[in-house]
Every structure is written in structure tokens, then in C-alpha cells.
């Protein structure tokens, strides 16, 4: 009788219901482990090991059954209670009809309210709130002089008079993927410097060590397998990440103009074009 009661209680758990509904057979011990309320501190500790290069600002396992919400700079993502499985996407409450991820993003980045409405042809990924379109009144500046040239993946325009931008990106960042698509359609030279915000360092290594880096970069953003990669010296990527930590670059993308002016977050094409024209020679 007691065994039947435990089984009924277990089936009521959201993760167990999901496993049963899609027909996946999981070890009973794993499902049982998920039924135990996770500890924010335990998840944070697990992420220190698994996301070594990501500064986690907040862990909240209380809002959504079976998921822990992670805040890292301007990024919001989710992990399972063990801190093993990373989930990048949106969480919707279908009962209250609320986009929980969007609400948290606005808490973390209140200036998003100044941005253009989502849904533009060149806007952010569908369902994600737009980043602010206005350039800050007191723009930040960064000197890239200390960075090794080897840490940049160069693509885009080959014209001598084309403006140059340096982009700090994460290959698992949806805004970075969208920005890459926008820059590809502009007459601009791009120096892309991968940094690992969302545990993407192994993927960055694959792109960096690929025989055709430009092709591998597109494959990474498209979620395709990179097959022409090999092992190589990736210390230049270490320099990128150290620079990001030293300068508190906690989110991606970060765009740096040739004169050091910084634009943080995704911007649509017209804003980037206007911003580039303001470069000081």
C-alpha cells in the first residue's frame, strides 16, 4: 500500500509526468532525485564547476518546478536541479499566460523598455524582448590593445575603407546569432572574439580550430556539427575570456567600434549603421 502511495506521489511530479507523456524511460533513482526540492546553493556550487567562465549572479529554484532560473549578467537561462542539463529558451506559464523569462529579463535590464518593439525583420529572435535601440548618453569605451590578434575570427567586408567592429560573442547566444546575421548584410569588417557565457567553450574551441573558421562560425550559430576541426592552441581564447572578466562583460553580444566605443546587446541594422558613422578617427 505504501509503495503504491509513493508511486502516485511520484507520478504527480512535473518531470515524471513529462517522462511518462513522451514515452522516455528514465532511471527511477533519477526521477526520484528530481522530486526533492533543489538547493539554490547546491546548484550554484555545481555551476562553478560546469560553467567555470560564467559569473552566476543569482540562482532561483523556487519559481518553476523542475527548473532553476540562472541569472548571469544580462543573460537568463535554466538548469535542472542537478545543475547538469542547461536549458536556453523561454518559460511560459500557460495558466496565467505569462512569459516568465521576459519578465525576468526586464527586471535585469530595465532599459529594454526603451527598445523597439519585437517582430521587426531585423529584430531579436522571435519571442524575445528587444534590446534598447538608443545609444547610452555616456557611452562606455574599451581599449582592445592588450588583446592578441590571434583571438579574433575575421570575416565580413574585405574593402579597405569598410568600418571595423569587434564583437564579443557566445555561440549559444540567440542575440549573437541575430547580430551576426545583421552584420553579414552590412559593409563592415567583423573581428569576432568568442567568450563563454553559456558554457560554450568547447564549441568555441571547435570553431577556432576549424580549417575554415568562417564556415565553422556559421555552423555553430546554426546548431550544425563542425566536422573540419582539429586540435590547436586556444590560449588566445583564454585571453578573450580574461579580458571579458577584467572588464565585467557579463553578457553578449558586446560590440566595440574602432575608436573603442561600446554598444552592449543586440541592436537592429539602422541603429548599428548610425552608430558606426559616429566613429572618431
Q: In the CATH hierarchy, which fold is given to the domain comprising 149-277?
A: Glutaredoxin (3.40.30)
How crowded is the C-beta side of 88, counted as CA atoms within 13 Å? 14
- Bridge partners, residue 58, by sequence: 71
One CATH from 3.10.450.70, 3.40.50.300, 3.40.50.1370, 3.20.20.140 for 38-114: 3.10.450.70
Q: Give pLDDT tens digits for 64-87.
A: 888 999 988 777 889 998 888 888
Mean pLDDT of 135-151: 80
Mean pLDDT of 237-247: 93
| Least reliable range by pLDDT among 42-51, 83-92, 183-192, 202-211 | 83-92
Mean pLDDT of 26-54: 68
| Least reliable range by pLDDT among 47-51, 116-120, 179-183, 269-273 | 116-120
Q: Which of 133, 67, 131, 73 is nearest to 100 (CA)?
A: 67
Question: Who has greater pLDDT, 131 or 194?
Answer: 194
Where are the domains positioned within the chain?
Answer: 38-114, 149-277
CA distance 83 to 86: 7
* CA-derived radius of gyration, the chain: 21
pLDDT of residue 8: 52
Q: Does position 169 have pLDDT exceeding 70, yes or no?
A: yes
| Least reliable range by pLDDT among 42-51, 134-143, 186-195, 227-236 | 134-143
Give me the phi and psi of 60, to 5 degrees please: -135, 105
Q: Which of 118, 189, 196 is nearest to 158 (CA)?
A: 189
Please state, for a pLDDT cut of 90, what percent of the chain lies above it: 42
Alpha-carbon torsion (277, 147, 139, 170), positive or negative: positive
Q: Does position 129 have pLDDT exceeding 50, yes or no?
A: no
pLDDT of residue 206: 97
Amino acid at each position: 500500500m505504501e509503495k503504491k502511495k509513493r508511486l502516485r506521489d511520484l507520478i504527480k511530479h512535473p518531470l515524471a509526468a513529462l517522462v511518462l507523456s513522451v514515452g522516455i524511460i528514465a532511471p527511477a533513482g533519477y526521477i526520484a532525485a528530481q522530486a526533492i526540492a533543489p538547493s539554490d546553493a547546491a546548484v550554484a556550487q555545481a555551476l562553478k564547476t560546469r560553467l567555470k567562465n560564467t559569473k552566476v549572479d543569482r540562482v532561483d529554484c523556487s519559481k518553476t518546478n523542475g527548473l532553476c532560473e540562472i541569472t548571469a549578467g544580462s543573460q537568463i537561462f535554466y538548469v535542472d536541479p542537478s545543475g547538469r542539463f542547461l536549458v536556453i529558451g523561454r518559460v511560459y506559464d500557460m495558466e496565467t499566460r505569462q512569459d516568465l523569462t521576459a519578465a525576468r529579463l526586464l527586471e535585469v535590464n530595465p532599459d529594454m523598455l526603451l527598445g523597439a518593439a519585437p517582430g521587426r525583420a531585423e529584430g531579436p529572435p522571435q519571442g524575445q524582448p528587444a534590446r534598447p535601440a538608443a545609444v547610452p548618453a555616456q557611452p562606455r569605451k574599451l581599449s582592445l590593445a592588450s588583446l592578441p590578434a590571434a583571438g579574433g575570427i575575421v570575416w565580413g567586408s574585405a574593402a579597405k575603407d569598410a568600418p571595423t567592429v569587434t564583437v564579443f560573442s557566445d555561440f549559444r547566444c540567440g542575440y549573437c546569432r541575430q547580430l551576426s546575421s545583421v552584420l553579414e548584410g552590412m559593409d563592415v569588417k567583423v573581428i569576432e572574439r568568442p567568450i563563454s557565457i553559456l558554457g560554450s567553450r568547447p564549441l568555441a574551441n571547435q570553431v577556432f580550430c576549424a580549417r575554415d573558421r568562417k564556415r565553422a562560425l556559421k555552423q555553430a550559430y546554426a546548431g550544425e556539427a563542425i566536422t573540419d576541426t582539429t586540435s590547436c592552441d586556444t590560449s588566445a581564447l583564454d585571453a578573450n575570456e580574461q579580458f571579458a572578466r577584467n572588464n565585467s562583460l557579463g553578457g553578449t553580444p558586446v560590440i566595440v567600434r574602432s575608436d573603442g566605443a561600446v554598444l552592449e546587446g543586440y541592436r537592429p541594422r539602422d541603429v548599428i549603421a548610425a552608430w558606426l558613422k559616429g566613429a572618431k578617427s
